[in-house]
């Protein structure tokens, strides 16, 4: 099968290798650019627990200033893996969505334990910090990166893609979905995806691309990419 991956190369290089070993053709179309932004170190230094809904939040955090023994709440497998790689020891991981993550926080950290810090990108799909404030928590949101839509793509790559439309596309976020929709419309390929299976992380992500006709839409969590191949 022809598989299209859309994350930055460093975030999907292992998956590219695995899919190629299985005999699949893999194309790579990074949809987003990610840049670090400055933030207040003191908020992170003083926190009693930390929350991540993206591995990029960990990537752009100066983890040397954080106590690695505090409770570290992660949205899913990929974020948990990144947290472990930088030394966090007390990780509590959800099943890939913010709703489950919130429940885990409510069950495993009480407001009297101290202040929480939610480290995230500039744009988030859910106001987790505000929801926790309503539950009585003291929480600060620290923004340490921003994303922008890629708008310039290699012309030769796009020509080849139009001739050989992928059988499967993986989309990992709301922003990626919006960027991919822009790409489809700008390249006037709206009618070419009817035989493509769209794999999306969450319903909110898939809703952006509902106006395009797909063969089928699947929802998945990070780490399930290879498993999904056997559902087609």
* pLDDT 10s digits, 19-58: 999 999 999 999 999 999 999 999 999 999 999 998 899 9
Question: Smallest Cα–Cα separation from 108: which of 139, 72, 68, 140?
Answer: 72
Quick one: pLDDT at residue 215?
97
Q: Please check the confidence at residue 173 and state whether its pLDDT lies above 90.
A: no
Residues 122, 169 within the same domain: no
Q: Which of 147, 176, 199 is the last residue of a domain?
A: 147
Residues 63, 139 within the same domain: yes
Residues 97, 159 within the same domain: no
DSSP state, residue 64: G
CB 211 within 8 A of CB 46: no
Question: Smallest Cα–Cα separation from 181: which of 28, 2, 6?
Answer: 6
Paired residues of 71 in beta bridges: 49, 90
Question: CB neighbours (10 Å) of residue 231?
Answer: 11
CB 54 within 8 A of CB 174: no
* Residue pLDDT, tens place only, 61-116: 999 999 999 999 999 888 999 999 999 999 999 977 788 999 999 999 999 999 99
Residues 102, 159 within the same domain: no
Q: Three-state DSSP class for 121? A: strand
Residues 122, 185 within the same domain: no
CATH number, domain with residue 203: 3.40.50.10090
Paired residues of 50 in beta bridges: 72, 117
Residues 193, 213 within the same domain: yes
Q: Which of 122, 147, 172 is the last residue of a domain?
A: 147
Residues 43, 114 within the same domain: yes
Quick one: pLDDT at residue 227?
87
Instruction: Count the helices and strands in the chain (H runs, E runs).
Output: 10, 11
Question: Smallest Cα–Cα separation from 176: which of 17, 77, 56?
Answer: 56
Q: Domain limits at 209?
A: 2-31+152-231
Residues 103, 193 within the same domain: no
Quick one: pLDDT at residue 72?
98
Quick one: pLDDT at residue 65?
93
Domain count, the chain: 2
Nearest-Å Rg of the Cα atoms of the chain is: 19
Quick one: pLDDT at residue 203?
86
- The residue length of the chain stands at 232
Residues 110, 164 within the same domain: no
Question: CB neighbours (10 Å) of residue 104?
Answer: 18
What's the sign of the alpha-carbon dihedral 178, 184, 186, 191? negative
Q: Which of 106, 130, 147 is the last residue of a domain?
A: 147
Residues 43, 76 within the same domain: yes
Instruction: Give dist(CA 144, CA 141) in Å, integer.
Output: 10
Residues 197, 131 within the same domain: no
Residues 142, 123 within the same domain: yes
């Amino acid at each position: 099968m022809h598989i299209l991956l859309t994350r930055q190369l460093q975030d999907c290089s292992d998956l590219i290798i695995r899919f190629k070993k299985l005999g699949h053709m893999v194309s790579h179309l990074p949809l987003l650019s990610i840049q670090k932004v400055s933030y207040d170190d003191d908020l992170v230094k003083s926190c009693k627990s930390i929350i991540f809904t993206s591995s990029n939040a960990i990537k752009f955090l100066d983890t040397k200033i954080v106590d690695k023994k505090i409770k570290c709440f992660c949205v899913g497998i990929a974020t948990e893996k990144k947290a472990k790689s930088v030394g966090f020891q007390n990780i509590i991981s959800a099943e890939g969505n913010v709703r489950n993550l919130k429940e885990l926080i409510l069950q495993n950290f009480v407001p009297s334990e101290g202040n929480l810090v939610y480290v995230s990108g500039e744009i988030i799909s859910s106001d987790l910090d505000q929801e926790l404030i309503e539950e009585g928590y003291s929480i600060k949101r620290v923004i340490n990166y921003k994303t922008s839509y890629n708008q310039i793509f290699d012309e030769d790559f796009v020509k080849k893609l139009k001739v050989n439309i992928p059988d499967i596309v993986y989309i990992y976020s709301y922003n990626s979905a919006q960027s991919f929709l822009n790409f489809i419309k700008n390249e006037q390929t709206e009618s070419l995806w009817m035989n493509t299976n769209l794999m999306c992380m969450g319903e909110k992500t898939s809703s952006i691309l509902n106006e395009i006709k797909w063969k089928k839409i699947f929802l998945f969590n990070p780490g399930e990419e290879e498993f999904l191949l056997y559902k087609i």
